[in-house]
Copies of this chain bind each other. A is one copy, B any other.
């Protein structure tokens, strides 16, 4: 287990957080929701390996750790946000964590967030850090997350720090707005964690001259981190970017995109660089067939993959040349080749993102003016290896 401490030089009133919508959340999420009402936040303490979800006396264990961290930092327990990620159902080793806390204090530094980004990971292949400069200050965000990823708010741990002064209420309203097109528009495996947390903390040192510019920079950091989480998703070898356009409304567009990135057969075909676009059409038809009858007209559906038209006027638009081009597009988006190991346990063959390319899918519904872009991953042997054997 790694314990990570993010401490502010002085506590701030300007902080925001959103948490998982899972109905059986972890003890740190239950505590975190209460912290939103506190006047100030001074630190965040994070452990990996054990998520402290529905464990006996889980809330008491997390509160004990907050109290001890607060005592070391000269803060009340209520100024500490606790976070845990890892196996669901196990109890935190609270006594050992209390022993360890004083030993991490000397390691606090203000040079780099990289050690924190490295400390919070579980099955992540690499740390994820994104930064934006805005109005004389900056926004820095770190992310943990690789599996159990379909945020319904944000299935992962995200910490975003800024020196720009934005008052608490504005900060919270902005965070609510930016999570929609970022962390709520991704899925690795359709599972929603019990521990997801996005926290945004301002040290309020640089006056904010332009709220719109700040929110735009915040949105960029969030969208970049969200895509990082998918690109580093468990076993992900292809990132899928599904742009749904001309939809009747944004909710419809987002739901349809989610169904496509979560359709197992299509995900497997992508993993195999197989342009089996029939499975893409199946996924769209499955979703629309489940909606109340008459709520949707698919007669104007047009599909492209990698810029190539594959479906229009109710029929496929395919030929051998297009199939070849689709295979080339899939191969160009591959993050690494799958390697068959001697022991049969597949492992991802990268420890960094080799490129930022995606399998580009466009779904034009032709029935409105709303749109949404959803990011997801394929379904690979590496995902099964990681989750049939790994415990977290």
| Inter-chain contacts of A281 with B (CB < 8 A) | 24, 53-54, 88-89, 194
A268 contacts B311, CB within 8 Å? no
- What is the interface of chain A, defined by CB distance below 8 A to chain B? 20-25, 51, 53-56, 58, 87-90, 147-148, 150, 152, 189-194, 262-265, 268-269, 271-272, 274, 276-279, 281-290, 296, 298, 311, 314-316, 318, 338, 340, 343-344, 379-381, 383-389, 391
- Interchain CB contact under 8 A, B318 and A263: no
* A23, A274, A277, A283 pick with most chain B CB within 10 angstroms: A23
Known: A264-B190, A316-B55, A344-B340. A282 touches B24 (CB 8 A): yes
B22–A264 touching, CB < 8 Å: no
* Chain B residues, Cβ within 8 Å of A55: 315-316
Inter-subunit contact A383/B268 (CB<8 Å): yes
List B contacts of A263 (CB < 8 A): 190-191
Looking at A87, A264, A268, the one whose CB has the most chain B CB atoms below 10 A away is A264
Number of copies of chain A assembled together: 2
Other CB < 8 Å A-B pairs besides A23-B288, A338-B344, 20 of them?
A21-B289, A23-B284, A23-B289, A23-B296, A23-B298, A24-B288, A54-B281, A56-B315, A87-B276, A87-B278, A89-B277, A89-B316, A152-B290, A191-B282, A194-B285, A264-B264, A269-B387, A271-B384, A380-B388, A383-B384
User: Which residues on B sit within 8 Å (CB–CB) of A193?
Assistant: 282
Q: What is the CB-to-nearest-CB distance from A326 to chain B, in angstroms, rounded to a whole number?
A: 12
Cα–Cα distance between A338 and B344 once the two chains are bound (Å): 10
User: Which residues from chain B contact A389 at a C-beta distance below 8 Å?
Assistant: 272, 274
3 pairs of A and B residues whose beta carbons are closest in the complex: A88-B278, A272-B388, A340-B344
Please name 10 pairs of A and B residues whose Cβ atoms are closer than 8 Å in the assembled complex, sorted by A: A22-B286, A23-B288, A54-B281, A54-B311, A88-B281, A191-B286, A192-B282, A192-B285, A268-B383, A274-B391
